[in-house]
Amino acid sequence: MNSQQSLEKREEERIILGALDMGKSTTRQLISKLPESIGSCPDELMRTLNKMRRKGQLEYAYSEESGDWLWWRAIPSKAETDR
């Protein structure tokens, strides 16, 4: 991966974390919050989310209620800690 791709991935991760600033979201909700350039391919998004999970940035659980994966920041955002 070259430095431009690395920068793009970091920016993508920053946008995803920003979308989760206000709390947990299902995969479907997250796709609707993201720009089309990130959320247009669900398979690619799932790969990115799982990479972020393995890095310790995200946590997840399956929601029987929604029938979807529920994602949240592993480390609370500033907005969450200020509540």
Note the pLDDT tens digit of each residue in 28-80: 999 999 998 887 788 889 999 999 999 999 999 999 999 999 999 998 656 55
Four-way CATH pick for 3-81: 3.40.50.2020, 1.20.1090.10, 2.60.120.1440, 1.10.10.10 = 1.10.10.10
Domain ranges of the chain: 3-81
Q: 38 in the Ramachandran plot: left (φ > 0), alpha (ψ -120 to 50) or beta?
A: alpha
At 3-32, the pLDDT tens digits run 777 778 899 999 999 999 989 999 999 999
Specify the pTM: 0.81
Looking at residue 24, its amino acid is K
Position 82 confidence tier, pLDDT thresholds 50, 70, 90: low
Interacting residues of 8 by C-beta distance below 8 A, sequence separation 6+? none
